[in-house]
Chain A
Amino acid sequence: MSTAGLSIPFKAEFDVNSQEFSLSGVVRPRSIDEIAVNISMLKEAIDQVRGVLYINVKRLVQMNNTAFHAFARVVLDACQAKPDIRFVIVTSSVVGWTTRMFGHLNKIEPQITIEVYDSKFYPGQSFVENTSFISILRTQTKMTWRHERTILPRHGMRSGITMADICCGIGDFVVLVQKEFQPARIVALDHSKASLAYARDVAAGFGITDIEYTYGDASEMLLEDNQFDFVSCRHSLQIFNRPDALLAELYRICKPGGRVYITNEKNSHCLGEPRSQSIQWTYNEVAKLFSHFEMDVELGPKSRRYLADAGFEDIVVESFMVTNLDGDAQDFADVIAAWENVYAGEMSVKRGDSSEFIQRFRQGFQDHILAALHPKGYAGWPIWVASGRKPR
């Protein structure tokens, strides 16, 4: 039996500035002697902090009872010895057993509280998790797929590979990939349970049983290192407030020699004729609006730099324009109408914009729709595709 590399290495770290002690990886010692150094580190951390010590176990993949009792013992003893210190244990909703196991500590010592890490790394996710947005996401994928099906082979997509689609959303992209390219294995991960439930229903409806949909946090994945020939992450780096952290995870799970494939937009380059000035003003404002919520929808052309900084080689970048002439112009118009609803109807309101601003903001979307449906009009939505190879 070959099990080499199955376990993720255990790591304990203390950051005095954030007063955070972090445990990650797999820790299954036979005796506490094996983790004595880490136990000492925790004791020293407790001695150094004032007020609150955060114990981060979000990336703790496995911990046996031997290790759990040893670490718990230290914290429980500290509660007695230092009643002025609070302990906040930060668990992940992805690794459910940690929340159950560490949650008991609060029943023993009220000084210990448990915080389940949630979607705070995804400030934009709540805007698109609404199930009413799902049909629009499907239409978007239909529109981009016309281009990507011919682009993907240039970035390493081929039959028989193992692939992961990170931030898969409603999972329609992997269904199309499976039909067109027949990868040997597909794992599709997202942090929205509603989207995954929809994805599983769609897959079941098509009789597709071999896509592994999994709930997970793209920046803290349970997936092991060096697993996949092809890792896709579409339209997600741009709505993630730490794209470099996400890219580092994509790099980690990609096999040496495999490729990471990302797509992103540059919203200010959305265009249309007639009424180009109104359209351009609105999409410039879209970029500023997303920036307010820590998202960079101008990221597309920056993909090359991000991939290079993350350590990829043989970087390939290209762009394509989804237009009203690709297929059904009404599809294009429906997508713009949905953007208007979310951007002008929710996000702009949340930012506290004036009604005058919102009215002008909406006008640009409506002009973009007019351009899409106009018999002589032209409307475009540009997308940047980039991929890089992980060095062997």
Chain B
Amino acid sequence: MDVAEKAPVEATFEPLVQIEMEMETFLSNWHHCDQLSTFIARIISHNRTDPVRHANFFSSALNELLEVSFRGGSPDGQIGCAVYRHGRTERVKLTFPCLSRQRQFFSEAVSNTRREDALTHYLDSISTGLTPSRDVVFLDLAINFDAQIRLENSAPPSITLVVDLPLEGVVS
């Protein structure tokens, strides 16, 4: 293989916390998104430079991801949320079952975050829509939280979102 085609060396992310829950249980109460994001944010932020503000930022981002899984997930199977850390970045891996048509949607939404006109697209959606599309939620994470988002292969019907959040740099 040509050197230029090699995949970039993946940094080593250390696991911090992992939570699993029956999807049916998760979907039984909308407030699980808020509760889980607040709870996890507080746990993983305690040894950041500014734990209170890091937790606030992280909770914002994680809540949006959990809300996406709440709206787009299906009740059969488990939702898993794992958080890892490398340097100033936290990585969220969110795995949840969803219908096949949703997979295509997530794939397009994630690739939209890497478009050059992502900000324009984001501003358009704020100025036109009454309610945000899930597409916009990913743009929000990319633009307001400097998130890098990708999809990881996982066995259907599950999908895994991998979101890198360099919040230590943003907060401090």
With both chains docked as a complex, state the minimum distance between the C-beta of A212 and any C-beta of chain B, in angstroms.
5
Which residue on chain A has the smallest CB distance to residue B122? A104
B117-148: contact bitstring with A at CB < 8 Å (1 yes, 0 no)?
Answer: 00000110011011110001100100111000
Chain A residues within an 8 Å CB radius of B122: 104
With both chains docked as a complex, state the minimum distance between the C-beta of A102 and any C-beta of chain B, in angstroms.
10
Q: Using A30-B30, A69-B132 as known contacts, say yes or no to A96 and B126 having CB atoms under 8 A apart.
A: no
In whole angstroms, how far apart are the Cα atoms of A223 and B129 in the complex? 33
With both chains docked as a complex, state the minimum distance between the C-beta of B15 and any C-beta of chain A, in angstroms.
19
Query: A222 interface residue, CB < 8 Å from B?
Result: yes
Please state if A100 and B144 are interface contacts (CB–CB under 8 Å).
yes
In B49-94, the 8 Å CB interface with A consists of 49-53, 56-57, 59-60, 63-64, 67
Residue in B126, B140, B170 whose Cβ sees the most chain A Cβ within 10 Å: B126
Please state if A212 and B136 are interface contacts (CB–CB under 8 Å).
no
Q: Is the interface of B mostly helix, strand, loop or mixed?
A: helix
Number of interface residues of B (CB under 8 A): 37
Name the segment of B31-39, B96-104, B150-158 touching the other chain. Answer: B31-39
In whole angstroms, how far apart are the Cα atoms of A6 and B127 in the complex? 32
With both chains docked as a complex, state the minimum distance between the C-beta of B132 and any C-beta of chain A, in angstroms.
4
Please state if B53 and A215 are interface contacts (CB–CB under 8 Å).
yes
With both chains docked as a complex, state the minimum distance between the C-beta of A211 and any C-beta of chain B, in angstroms.
10
Please state if B50 and A214 are interface contacts (CB–CB under 8 Å).
yes
In A192-248, the 8 Å CB interface with B consists of 196, 200, 209, 212-216, 222-223
A83-99: contact bitstring with B at CB < 8 Å (1 yes, 0 no)?
Answer: 00000000000111100
Query: A37 interface residue, CB < 8 Å from B?
Result: no
Residue from B38, B52, B53, B56 within 8 A of A3 (CB atoms): B38
In whole angstroms, how far apart are the Cα atoms of A26 and B34 in the complex? 9
Q: Using A72-B126, A97-B60, A209-B47 as known contacts, say yes or no to A214 and B53 having CB atoms under 8 A apart.
A: yes
Please state if B126 and A3 are interface contacts (CB–CB under 8 Å).
no
Query: B115 interface residue, CB < 8 Å from A?
Result: no
Please state if B131 and A66 are interface contacts (CB–CB under 8 Å).
yes
Which residue on chain A has the smallest CB distance to residue B145? A97
Residue from A28, A70, A107, A196 within 8 A of B131 (CB atoms): A70
With both chains docked as a complex, state the minimum distance between the C-beta of A161 and any C-beta of chain B, in angstroms.
18
In whole angstroms, how far apart are the Cα atoms of A66 and B126 in the complex? 11
Please state if A104 and B131 are interface contacts (CB–CB under 8 Å).
no
Other A-B pairs beyond A64-B63, A69-B136, A212-B52, 16, CB < 8 Å: A3-B39, A6-B38, A7-B35, A7-B38, A26-B34, A30-B30, A31-B131, A64-B67, A72-B126, A95-B53, A96-B170, A104-B126, A108-B127, A214-B53, A215-B53, A216-B53
Q: Which residues of B contact A (CB under 8 A)?
A: 30, 33-35, 38-39, 42, 46-47, 49-53, 56-57, 59-60, 63-64, 67, 122-123, 126-127, 129-132, 136-137, 140, 143-145, 170-171
29 example contacts (A-B, Cβ-Cβ < 8 A) are as follows: A1-B35, A6-B42, A7-B38, A28-B33, A28-B34, A30-B30, A32-B130, A32-B131, A62-B34, A64-B63, A65-B64, A65-B132, A68-B132, A69-B131, A70-B131, A76-B127, A94-B53, A95-B56, A96-B57, A96-B171, A100-B144, A101-B144, A108-B127, A189-B52, A212-B46, A212-B52, A214-B50, A216-B52, A222-B52
